[in-house]
Homo-oligomer: A and B are copies of this chain.
């Protein structure tokens, strides 16, 4: 005698396989199935529970039961409990904290973290992505490499899309650049924040500011855009702006040399706005070495609120970047994606953190 739950299970499986319920189609509710098969709720749940572990259906609490894409060969890869994280720099700067945030959430959900490092280099990014695809990760979190430049690995991204691997981007919305990639993202409102920061400097009385931005990252471009926008709203002083653009491969002394040139000018700039705190800390050390006092002689501001920034002398005025929180959000998002829950992209608004590295300029720059 075949058991009741077996009968229910077989009937449902048959209906799915025959195409009566197409993929992503909503199945009857548990109550309906109870009546249709004249069994208890336990029996229904036992049947659909089995079907779920066999990947024929997926269930959403409060939502319903749906047909899974059983065409795919889940059998050999579905037990992958790894989330691939591809970043430009795993060791430097803010990314360890983002990774930490991701790890917190996904490890609670039984996943672990497979790391890939691109050194902001497209070739290594390619290697990493191929590796991730080969190890059949359950999901991917990617910080795109040199996101302001055309990406030669688009074929791989397309493949990720085709394979329907749950994926999201950090620090960049690739969907804006490549419309075919409709991945959700977690990012910061870089343009607005930088504009707010420069406005703050204007408010202190600064008029001539050096902006130093890394322009092969989309983040850097955005921050530069914010810098430019702030000046555009003050056409009377916009001629006093100074812009230094660099790329990730450039040596630091190239940048400092250009800064030095600006500072030698008679009407020298009174403030420097840096791409991020990492750069700001180095620029700070450089201008102190030139004999300038910060902030009396020159103000310096950064971006990201790096953990060590408050311990600098003077403590850095900067914009907050919710690194850990951002990582947690990304972790939660990828887990939701894996559970077929709807997700929404998040944009964080950096807040101004006023410390000691920026004050009103001592002498009018007239």
Point out residues on A near B: beta carbons under 8 Å: 53, 81-82, 89-92, 95-97, 99-100, 103, 107, 112-117, 127-128, 131-132, 135, 281-282, 284-285, 308, 310-313, 324
30 A–B contact pairs at CB < 8 A? A53-B53, A81-B131, A81-B135, A82-B114, A82-B135, A89-B100, A90-B103, A91-B99, A91-B100, A95-B96, A99-B115, A100-B117, A103-B115, A103-B117, A107-B116, A107-B117, A107-B127, A107-B128, A112-B115, A112-B116, A112-B131, A112-B135, A113-B115, A113-B116, A114-B114, A115-B115, A281-B308, A282-B311, A285-B311, A312-B313
CA distance A113 to B91 in the complex (A): 13
**Interface SS of chain A:** helix
* Chain B residues, Cβ within 8 Å of A310: 285
Q: Given that A112-B116, A113-B114 are known contacts, is A96 also in contact with B107, CB under 8 Å in the complex?
A: no
Most buried by B among A96, A99, A281: A96
| Residue pair A96, B90 in contact (C-beta under 8 Å) | yes
For this chain, the copies found in one complex come to 2
Whose C-beta in chain B lies nearest to the C-beta of A134? B81
**Complex CA–CA separation, A135 to B128 (angstroms):** 19
Contacts of A128 on B, CB cut-off 8 Å?
A: 107, 112
Residues of B within 8 A of A135 (CB): 81-82, 112
A128 to chain B, nearest CB (A): 8
Chain B positions within 8 Å of A284 at CB level = 311
B residues near A91, Cβ cutoff 8 Å: 96-97, 99-100, 324
Q: Do the beta carbons of B92 and A96 come within 8 Å of each other?
A: yes
Residue in chain B with minimal CB distance to A95: B96
Q: With both chains docked as a complex, state the minimum distance between the C-beta of A63 and any C-beta of chain B, in angstroms.
A: 19
Q: How distant is the Cα of A281 from the Cα of B96 in the complex, in angstroms?
A: 19
Residue of B nearest to A116 (CB): B112
Question: Which B residues lie within 8 Å of A117 (CB)?
Answer: 100, 103, 107
Given contact pairs A90-B100, A112-B128, enumerate 7 new A-B contacts (beta carbons under 8 Å). A81-B135, A90-B99, A112-B114, A112-B115, A112-B132, A113-B115, A284-B311
Q: Which residue of B lies closest to A310 (CB)?
A: B285
Nearest Cβ on chain B to A42's Cβ, whole angstroms: 9
**CB-based closest 6 A-B pairs:** A91-B100, A91-B96, A313-B313, A96-B96, A308-B308, A113-B115
Across-interface contacts of A89 in B (CB, < 8 A): 100
Query: Nearest-CB distance from A56 to chain B (Å)?
Result: 13
Cβ-closest chain B residue relative to A327: B91
Within the complex, the shortest CB–CB distance from A74 to chain B, in Å, comes to 12
Residues of chain B within 8 A of A308, CB atoms compared: 281, 308, 311
CA distance A113 to B127 in the complex (A): 13
- Whole-angstrom distance between the alpha carbons of A99 and B66 in the complex? 39
CB contacts (< 8 Å) of A132 on chain B: these are 112
Instruction: Give A90 to B90 CA distance when docked, in angstroms.
Output: 10
Closest residue to A103 on the B side, CB-wise? B117
Q: Measured between alpha carbons, how far is A281 from B128 in the docked complex, in Å? A: 36
Query: How far, in whole Å, are A90 and B104 apart by their CA atoms in the complex?
Result: 11
Assembly CA distance A311 to B316 (angstroms):
12
CA distance A32 to B311 in the complex (A): 58
A104 nearest CB neighbor, chain B only? B117
In whole angstroms, how far apart are the Cα atoms of A150 and B90 in the complex? 32
